[in-house]
A and B are shown apart, each in its own frame.
Chain A
Amino acid sequence: MKFGILVNEGPYNHQAADTAYQFAKAAIEKGHEIHRVFFYHDGVNNASKLTEPPQDDRNIVARWSKLAEEHGVDLVVCVAAALRRGIVDENLAAGFRISGLGQLVESGIQADRLVTFGD
């Protein structure tokens, strides 16, 4: 099955990004396809490569990048939400791309299920 994922919260402040990641990982392990992860609202902060958590904490941004690298997951950051919050190509982590909100609607059309994670 093809899943779309929407992440509406930034990393660390809310558990949404963690749950979304665990869900994506479990779905891939079960043989499903993650069609796209779309980052909206403060969720765009998941894409900042300037993120540097303490060494004993999980690296949420790097975890997403690894998922993109190993499983070809399409990580899309909403351009309007990103510009509002200072996320631009210069500080975009590996595996992410900035695009329009149409990518979210398209994911809703193309995926079998779209699951929202947020606050």
Chain B
Amino acid sequence: MLHIVNKSPSERNAMSSCLRMAKKGSTILLIEDGVYAATKGSVVEKDLKAAMADMQVYALWPDLEARGMQDTVIDGIKQVDYAGFVDLVAENKNVQSWL
């Protein structure tokens, strides 16, 4: 399953709730303000790193770049563009947006 998170982890609880309710083996894609979760020093850095043992984490680079956060991405988080976003949706049997 693909989980899409578009909220800053320091403003809302979408990221934390996603990590709590996502099944092992799931894929997480961070977009829009959600990309702040993918950056070093974010409030969920520790939790996200722990989750990466069981889950694949991706961040949308156009959103990282728009926010000037492209050079501070946590190691192990892969970056995709919109075409990669489309591929992730196609590869997973279902998708949930944590609005």
List the one stretch of A22-30, A66-74, A78-86 in contact with chain B: A22-30
Question: Are A26's CB and B95's CB within 8 A?
Answer: no
Contacts A1-B90, A32-B90 hold; do A26 and B85 have CB atoms under 8 A apart?
yes
- Collect the chain B residues with CB atoms within 8 Å of residue A118's CB: 97, 99
- Residue-wise interface mask of A (4-31) relative to B, using a CB-CB cutoff of 8 A (1 in contact, 0 not): 0000100000011001001101110110
Question: Are B97's CB and A116's CB within 8 A?
Answer: yes
A91 to chain B, nearest CB (A): 27
What secondary structure prevails in chain B residues at the interface with A?
A: helix
B20 to chain A, nearest CB (A): 20
Chain A contact-residue range equals 20 to 34
Which of B31, B33, B81, B86 has the most C-beta atoms of chain A within 10 angstroms of its own C-beta? B86
- Collect the chain B residues with CB atoms within 8 Å of residue A112's CB: 90
Contacts A15-B32, A19-B31, A19-B32 hold; do A30 and B97 have CB atoms under 8 A apart?
no
- Residue-wise interface mask of B (56-99) relative to A, using a CB-CB cutoff of 8 A (1 in contact, 0 not): 00000010000000000000000001110111011000110101
Question: Are B95's CB and A115's CB within 8 A?
Answer: yes
- Selected from A3, A8, A16, A25, the residue in CB contact (under 8 A) with B82 is A25
A119 CB within 8 Å of chain B = yes
Kindly state the separation between the CA atoms of A23 and B85 in the bound complex, as whole angstroms: 7
A117 CB within 8 Å of chain B = yes
How many B residues touch A, CB cutoff 8 Å?
Answer: 18
B91 to chain A, nearest CB (A): 10
B89 to chain A, nearest CB (A): 5
Contacts A8-B99, A15-B32, A19-B31 hold; do A115 and B89 have CB atoms under 8 A apart?
yes
Pull 30 A–B residue pairs with CB atoms less than 8 Å apart, ordered by A.
Answer: A15-B6, A15-B32, A15-B33, A16-B6, A19-B32, A22-B62, A22-B82, A23-B82, A23-B85, A23-B86, A26-B82, A26-B86, A27-B86, A30-B86, A32-B90, A112-B90, A113-B89, A113-B90, A113-B94, A114-B95, A115-B89, A115-B95, A115-B97, A116-B97, A116-B99, A117-B6, A117-B97, A118-B99, A119-B6, A119-B99
